[in-house]
Structure 1
């Protein structure tokens, strides 16, 4: 995995967690709006909206760089709509990054040995 692809996946992981937290805060603000006099929805709504747009931009970038089939980005999009789904998406992306780095190191080791032996 090249550095730009790894960076795209890291950005997607970061924004998925932040977007998930903002989604939960927006849900909490909605409940508080209806049960108390506290109304933070006018503030939290746009914040969450910006984070959703960032998530979609980073998802498109990661999809372009990793050459995923349609199913995987669709799963990540659905997870962004489900409460707590962003945390699960983060775990999936972290596992994918670790596997890609491990496979990249395995592929690079024979080249290093060949260079060192020359």
Structure 2
């Protein structure tokens, strides 16, 4: 899976999507309901780094796999939607089959 740009993208997209969900549904409620800022700082930094890697990996996968502009734009947009990267990964797997 890690031998191709698409495989690396899929791994990074799953990690980025997971970090986004942890940030939204665990760290932020702890901050706003419990008054503890540290989890948001830690998870937010990790998510930010993974987001940058996601966008770079998306660009490399688009180039290597010769995805069209529409797929690239959809891949970029879904990174802002909870569970979006998981849906996009499913689309990639279905198209590869």
Same fold (TM over 0.5): yes
Cα offset for 1:97? 2.8
Point out 4+ residue stretches in structure 1 off by more than 6 angstroms. none
**5+ unaligned residues in a row in structure 1: which ranges?**
99-118
Please give the secondary structure, in 1, of the residue aligned with 2:79.
helix
TM-score, normalization by structure 2: 0.88
TM-score, normalization by structure 1: 0.73
State the match for 1:34 in structure 2. 32
Cα offset for 1:93? 1.5
Considering only CA atoms, is the larger Rg found in Structure 1 or Structure 2? 1
Task: Give the whole-Å Cα distance in 2 for the aligned partners of 1:74 and 1:33.
Answer: 32
State the match for 1:61 in structure 2. 60
How many residues are aligned here? 94
Cα offset for 1:45? 0.8
Please give the secondary structure, in 2, of the residue aligned with 1:81.
coil
Task: Give the whole-Å Cα distance in 1 for the aligned partners of 2:10 and 2:18.
Answer: 13
State how 1:3-18 maps to structure 2 within 5 Å: 7-18=4-15
